[in-house]
Structure 1
Amino acid sequence: MRGFIFVALLAIACAGEVKAQDAAAGEKVFGVCKACHQIGETAKNGVGPQLNGIIGRKAGTVEGYNYSKANKESGITWDEATFREYIKDPKAKIPGTKMIYAGLKDEQRTNDLIAYLQQFDTDGKKK
């Protein structure tokens, strides 16, 4: 009986634990994003804006990309928390966004994606 209780308590303690960010795993998550976005030294705007230096950047400001009015006027500066909210449900975070994506609900995959994106500075060079 004590063994069962110990295993149950251990399972409860570990249930809320989130693994560290993994940029390599995040690159795989970014595979879905590649349909619309690019990142890296040769990144260009496509269906969506290039994502170099996204964390710390003001929303709607990539030169040469035609953003929705909602995105340009959102007042958002992308940080980890704001990006998490957005990527989970883009249309809820910025109603009127042009981004057509149902959202990334998995917290670990979001952690990994952020780790991958944070590797790139505004010029697309890995930090």
Structure 2
Amino acid sequence: MASGEMRGLWTAALAASLLGVACSHASAQSVERGRAVYQEHCAGCHSVDAHREGPAHRGVVGRRAGALKDFDYSPALRDSKLLWTRATLRAWLTDPEALIPGQAMDYHLDDAQEREDVVAYLATLRRLAAVPPPAP
């Protein structure tokens, strides 16, 4: 391989690496903005770990809609069979009624960037591992 070709490969690899770092940084910023938007717009009815007027959100990405046994969902949501993914969460935050007619949430986020940021934040809220009971 000629030295010019090798230099081109190294330059491309460096550019890809820097792009990855830039994307990570942008993602971290999105999560922080999402946390702030969540606190401002969602925390009145939801919490990360406790049910309020709406269900807790920890572990929501990858969970079936209406699946938490200890929350009283609307029949429309409980029977929807919807899986919460980043795409379905964006659609939900855009217009819950359009996604699941008859559901009970009467709020949406108008700003597309705020929706993206909230979804980025929600995706970081992984389910906690079950803690075994203490030994007798």
TM-score range (shorter-chain normalised) is 0.7 to 0.9
Residue segments in structure 2 that go unaligned for 5+ positions in a row: 1-25, 130-136
Q: Does 1:60 align with 2:66?
A: yes
Distance 2:45 2:36 in 1: 15
What's the RMSD between the two structures over aligned residues? 1.4
Distance 1:74 1:33 in 2: 22
Larger RCO: 1 or 2 (CA < 8 Å, sep 6+): 1
TM-score (structure 1 length as normaliser): 0.74
TM-score (structure 2 length as normaliser): 0.70
Q: Which letter maps to 2:68?
A: V
Distance 2:116 2:106 in 1: 21
User: Percent identity among equivalent residues?
Assistant: 36
Distance 1:114 1:121 in 2: 13
Q: Which letter maps to 2:110?
A: K
Compare the two structures and name the one with the higher helix fraction.
Answer: 2
Q: Does 1:77 align with 2:83?
A: yes
Q: 1:104 — aligned with what?
A: 109
Alignment length, in residue pairs?
Answer: 101
Residue segments in structure 1 that go unaligned for 5+ positions in a row: 1-19
1:79-115 CA distance string (max 9 Å, x none): 11111111101111111111121x1132211111111
Q: 2:99 — aligned with what?
A: 93
Distance 2:106 2:111 in 1: 18
Residue 48 of structure 1 deviates from its aligned partner by 0.3
Q: Provide runs of 4+ in structure 1 moved above 6 Å.
A: none
